[in-house]
Amino acid sequence: MQSLEQLITLRKTLHQNPELSNQEEATAVRILNEFKCFSPDEIVTDLGGTGLAFVFNGTDSGPTTLIRSELDALPIEETNTFSHRSQVKGVSHKCGHDGHMSIVTALGAELAKSRPQKGRVVLCFQPAEETGMGAIQVVNDVCFATLKPDYAFALHNYPGLELGKVAVRAGTFNCASRGMIIHLKGKTSHAAHPENGISPANVMCNIIQELNALPSKIVGQGIEGRHWVTVIHAKLGEVAFGTAPGDAVVMVTLRSESNEGMHTLIEQAEAFSRRLAEQEGLSISFEYDDVFQASVNSQIGCDLVVNACETMKTPYLLLDEPMRWSEDFGQFTATAKEGAMFALGAGQTSPQLHNPDYDFPDSLIPIGRDIFLDIIRQLNGLEG
């Protein structure tokens, strides 16, 4: 069993050496070296890119339970001055994935001395959660077919919630979101003769107005849940006073509490954007980035988390509404029959996630470990 001091040292080492999405080679090697002394029954490397999976088998038949962690950091310059601050310029663990990795490593140490009685436990470290690509890469990897879980679980630390308190709910836990990029193409002309060109200026402005009004229109159509549209960038032509613009781009984040709501947002945003572009003789195209589907907890998955909290005497609350931030763990719960993600409070005074002064609270490591361990005990049993 690793001591808490050893786990904190690991967490701080990971914090000092962050890597961006799909570049987590050194982080994966560090985790692999930690797990070698745990003697897992199977090790899968290069899963979905830099991902890893460690399998602990029981002696009797039973379900496969997967616990997921994330490897990647963010392109954010850290402003903290403590001794374990990031040593990589412009990159830092500002979402707490260093802490999540330490929790699941601690879980590996426990499984090394108390194997599951039945079925198997898969501890998965995925790449590229921050871009929404990592979970897709993992579940689409041919090697994942042999690891496919019956139950899948994950946690995420959550600033603003009391330190060590769990928040969970059945149904949608994290919202679906995606970045939508709208390209408008007209015809550039001299600013003295704008009539010789086709400017996308009016269409760009009208599209932005329609996008801002879209959430309220969808509610009126009877689509359940809440929806948000946030215009994050717009660009028209170039800074050249002698030129009437011929190109424009609008970037927007679409967000919904359901995958159905996301589909409606996309469908209607594309429809009115095409209509407006055609009316002005513009060509139009769409791109999508940072695509996250909604992460949906099953009732059984939620109940298993609550049971673990009650057994471990960990305070918890059942959320009335989903978290508005997005997470790609929904790929795993869509694959497994049952499962859940839950939030673990990082404290009410903690800086928010993705803030340059955020740091993961080390006191959460044993709490997260013990909740996961009790979920495994409920599903797979534990020797000893």
Query: How many whole angstroms separate alpha carbon 108 and alpha carbon 264?
Result: 42
34 labelled ligand-binding:
no
- Burial of 36 (C-beta count, 10 Å sphere; 0-12/13-18/19+): exposed
What 8-state DSSP symbol labels residue 222? T
- Residues near 33 by beta carbon (within 8 Å), at least 6 away in sequence: none
354 labelled ligand-binding:
yes
Identify which of 378, 309, 324, 383 has the alpha carbon closest to the alpha carbon of residue 158: 324
What is the residue type of 188? T
Q: Is 15 helix (H, G, I), strand (E, B) or coil?
A: helix
Identify which of 321, 354, 379, 384 has the alpha carbon closest to the alpha carbon of residue 158: 354
Query: How many whole angstroms separate alpha carbon 349 and alpha carbon 161?
Result: 9
- Residues near 22 by beta carbon (within 8 Å), at least 6 away in sequence: 49, 50, 72, 127, 128, 131, 133, 134
Instruction: Quote the tokens at residue 294.
Output: 């909604």
Query: How many whole angstroms separate alpha carbon 258 and alpha carbon 226?
Result: 8
Output helix, strand, coil percentages for the chain, rounded to the nearest 5.
Answer: 35, 30, 35
156 labelled ligand-binding:
yes
The total number of residues shown for the chain amounts to 384
Exposure string for 190-228, b = 16+ CB within 10 A, e = fewer: eeeeeeebbbbbebbebbbebbeebbeebeeeebebbbb
CA dihedral 187, 189, 195, 198 (to 10 degrees): 20
Task: Enumerate the known binding-site residues for Mn(2+).
Answer: 95, 97, 130, 156, 354
Task: Enumerate the known binding-site residues.
Answer: 95, 97, 130, 156, 354
